[in-house]
Amino acid sequence: MDRVIAGGSEPLALFDTKGFASLNIYDPGFCKPFDENRKGLNLGEGAAFLVLENEKSLSATGNQPICVLSGWNNASDAFHQTASSPDGRGAYLAMIHALEKAGLSATEIDYVNAHGTGTVNNDLSESMALQKVFGKVPPFSSTKGFTGHTLAAAGAIEAVYCVLSISNQSILPNINFETSMHETGLQPEKEFRPASIQHVLSNSFGFGGNCTSLIFSKS
């Protein structure tokens, strides 16, 4: 296959809000990803689509690639129907194998667009996985403070953010953050800032321990 359109969309429904509220992971205020005092996620709706082309397609269309999808992996720890594993095993496996696919070391990642929902379980699990993969975690942030969790659209929307991070050579902020989690002490980026961006890792995690990591690289 030479050309693929990949993406997702999600309209808000009462089923979603009631469902997440029943799990006690919905915050009626502004969500605070990776904050010690986070209470849950916000929901959003949106859509995003990306066009992926190989060399054959590019030669036919004459399009100039913005960046390259250099690494990818999906892993599942099957820990729980709705919760991430406490040690972040699924997230760790997804990131490690995406790095292997891209032929990159952890030190070559310049920015991580984290899943970062603002829920107690998810943010701690992802933080622990980030520390396990990177040791010294590179600049990272969750953009869900801007959009809310857009569910089926989240992976695609955040992939677009990663592409923009590379094309604009900038790091995106994690808004609403105030206090580091006591378990990890990690501090996400709080402001837009210019940076030299060659490789960006994007995390998207789901129910059932279903974890996916993508790596986008400057072309």
For 34-69, how does the pLDDT look when each residue is reduced to its tens digit (9 = 90+)? 999 999 999 999 999 999 999 999 999 999 999 999
Check pLDDT > 80 for residue 82.
no
- Residues 85/77, Cβ–Cβ less than 8 Å: yes
Check pLDDT > 80 for residue 81.
no
- Residues 215/71, Cβ–Cβ less than 8 Å: yes
Q: What CATH number is attached to the domain comprising 157?
A: 3.40.47.10
Range of the domain at 24: 3-218
DSSP sequence for 39-66: --B-B--EEEEEEEE-HHHHHHH-PPPS
Residue type, 184: T
CA distance 14 to 202: 28
Higher per-residue pLDDT: 21 or 196: 196
- Provide the mean pLDDT of the chain: 94
Q: Smallest Cα–Cα separation from 103: which of 124, 62, 72, 74?
A: 72
Domain count within the chain: 1
Task: State the residue for tokens 């605070």.
Answer: 32
| Three-state DSSP class for residue 210 | strand
pTM beyond 0.85, yes or no: yes
Q: How confident is the model at residue 184 (pLDDT cuts 50, 70, 90)?
A: very high
